[in-house]
């Protein structure tokens, strides 16, 4: 059952010589694009870090975890730092254009999004946006596994330093999770470990 999810594991040792094909990377990035979000607002950006020296810097801000440099690619999952009326307008314009509906008919929707955001503190909005970033992360991990690509989701890093190294404040975003992807080294000892998961009945509540 769900064989690919059993195949996947958090890869700690990557084969440095194996690289993900650009076409495959493109498909994976499209998975991120397709993730659902509250109101459809997509409060996120995804950084593909190709620069080797930047990856070395990030490694030092990530408890020295070697996956950051050894994997084929490093993806940084980011949340927006804030969301203003201008952003909402852009999204609603996009919706009007793509669906071919009159802009005017979407004003009620636009207002309700604006009102929702005004009812929250900046801290609440920031938490709300960061939580949403875990949706594309989850979908991404699942799709990587389906394609037999290894991944290592990581929260163990210093956000301020990673934001600084990548110039993320200037982009209006902040790092939420790192995800090196590539192919497992033949001797990664984590590959053979059994999954530690509670039984479904322990995770389920029926009413």
Ligand X SMILES: Cc1cc2nc3c(=O)[nH]c(=O)nc-3n(C[C@H](O)[C@H](O)[C@H](O)COP(=O)(O)O)c2cc1C
Residue 9 in contact with ligand X, rule: CB under 6 A: yes
Residue 153 in contact with ligand X, rule: CB under 6 A: yes
Least distance (Å) between residue 178 CB and ligand X: 7
The tokens for 204 are 């389920």
Chosen residue from 154, 165, 166, 175 binding ligand X by CB under 6 A = 154
Compute CA 182 distance to the chain's CA centroid, rounded to the nearest angstrom.
16
Beta strands, E only, the chain: 44-49, 73-80, 150-151, 173-182
CB 147 within 8 A of CB 4: no
Q: At what angle do helices 107-118 and 85-99 cross, to 10 degrees?
A: 150
Number of neighbouring beta carbons within 10 Å of residue 30: 10
C-alpha to C-alpha distance for 126 and 104, rounded to whole angstroms: 29
Residue 177 in contact with ligand X, rule: CB under 6 A: yes
Residue 155 in contact with ligand X, rule: CB under 6 A: yes
- 156 or 164: CB nearest ligand X: 156
- 117 or 149: CB nearest ligand X: 149
Residue 136 in contact with ligand X, rule: CB under 6 A: no
The residue assigned the tokens 């930047």 is 54
* DSSP tag of 120: S
- 1 or 21: CB nearest ligand X: 1
- 113 or 185: CB nearest ligand X: 185
Least distance (Å) between residue 195 CB and ligand X: 5
Residue 149 in contact with ligand X, rule: CB under 6 A: no
Residue 179 in contact with ligand X, rule: CB under 6 A: no
Q: By CB under 6 A, name the binding residues for ligand X.
A: 9-10, 12, 65, 152-156, 177, 195
């Amino acid at each position: 059952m769900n064989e690919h999810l059993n195949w996947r594991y958090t890869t700690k040792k990557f084969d440095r010589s194996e690289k993900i094909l650009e076409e495959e990377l493109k498909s994976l990035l499209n998975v991120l694009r397709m993730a659902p979000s509250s109101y459809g607002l997509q409060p996120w950006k995804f950084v593909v870090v190709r620069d080797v020296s930047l990856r070395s810097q990030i490694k030092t801000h990530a408890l020295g975890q070697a996956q950051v440099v050894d994997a084929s690619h490093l993806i940084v999952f980011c949340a927006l730092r804030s969301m203003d009326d201008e952003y909402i307008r852009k999204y609603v314009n996009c919706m009007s254009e793509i669906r071919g509906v009159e802009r005017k008919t979407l004003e009620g929707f636009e207002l309700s999004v604006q009102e929702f955001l005004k009812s929250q503190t900046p801290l609440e909005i920031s938490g709300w946006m960061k939580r949403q970033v875990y949706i594309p992360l989850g979908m991404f991990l699942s799709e990587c596994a389906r394609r037999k690509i290894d991944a290592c989701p990581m929260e163990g890093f210093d956000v301020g330093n990673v934001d600084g190294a990548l110039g993320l404040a200037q982009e209006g975003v902040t790092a939420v999770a790192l995800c090196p992807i590539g192919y497992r080294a033949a001797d990664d000892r984590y590959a053979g470990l059994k999954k530690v998961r509670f039984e479904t009945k322990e995770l389920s509540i029926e009413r």
